[in-house]
C-alpha cells in the first residue's frame, strides 16, 4: 500500500489533473454547467490563467536559482520530491498554456474551464511541496 501511495505521489503531475479533467467533463456532459459560462467570465478566467502561469514561472525560477550544493535541494533529489515539484510546475504551465490557446482559437469554453481546474490541481500540489521545502530550511 505504501508503494502505491508513493507511485501516486511520484506521478501526481499526471494523475490528479487527468482525474479532475475527467470528473469535470462528466459533470459537464451530464448537467451542462460549464457550457453556460458567459464570455465576460471567460475573459476574467483567462486573466487568472495568465497570472497562474506567471506564478508557476516565478516558482520555477526561484527553485532553479537555489545553489546546487544546497542541503535542502540535495535531500529533495534524494527523496524524489524534486521530480514531483518540477513535473507539477511544468505540467501546470503546459495545461494552462493549452487552455489559453484553446480559448484563443476556439469557442470550447468547457474545455478551457476543465484545463484550468487541472492546472489548479498542479498549483495546489506545487504549493504543498513549496510548503514542505520551506519547512526543511
The pLDDT, as a whole number, for residue 43 is 92
C-alpha span between 116 and 123 (Å, rounded): 10
- Residue 78, CA distances (Å) to 81, 82, 104, 128 in order: 8, 8, 41, 18
- Over residues 84-105, the pLDDT tens digits come to 889 999 999 999 999 999 999 9
- Where exactly are the structural domains of the chain? 2-136
pTM for the model: 0.89
Q: At what angle do helices 81-105 and 71-79 cross, to 10 degrees?
A: 80
The pLDDT, as a whole number, for residue 23 is 95
- Over residues 49-88, the pLDDT tens digits come to 999 999 999 989 988 887 767 777 777 788 888 888 899 9
C-alpha span between 84 and 34 (Å, rounded): 30
Q: What is the largest CA-CA distance in the chain?
A: 52
Amino acid at each position: 500500500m505504501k508503494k502505491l501511495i508513493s507511485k501516486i505521489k511520484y506521478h501526481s503531475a499526471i494523475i490528479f489533473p487527468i482525474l479532475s479533467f475527467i470528473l469535470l467533463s462528466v459533470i459537464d456532459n451530464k448537467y451542462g454547467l460549464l457550457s453556460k459560462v458567459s464570455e465576460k467570465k471567460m475573459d476574467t478566467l483567462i486573466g487568472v490563467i495568465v497570472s497562474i502561469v506567471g506564478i508557476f514561472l516565478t516558482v520555477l525560477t526561484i527553485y532553479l536559482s537555489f545553489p546546487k550544493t544546497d542541503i535542502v535541494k540535495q535531500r529533495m533529489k534524494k527523496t524524489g520530491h524534486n521530480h514531483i515539484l518540477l513535473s507539477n510546475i511544468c505540467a501546470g504551465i503546459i495545461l494552462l498554456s493549452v487552455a489559453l490557446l484553446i480559448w484563443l482559437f476556439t469557442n470550447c469554453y468547457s474545455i478551457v474551464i476543465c484545463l484550468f481546474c487541472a492546472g489548479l490541481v498542479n498549483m495546489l500540489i506545487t504549493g504543498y511541496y513549496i510548503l514542505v521545502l520551506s519547512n526543511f530550511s
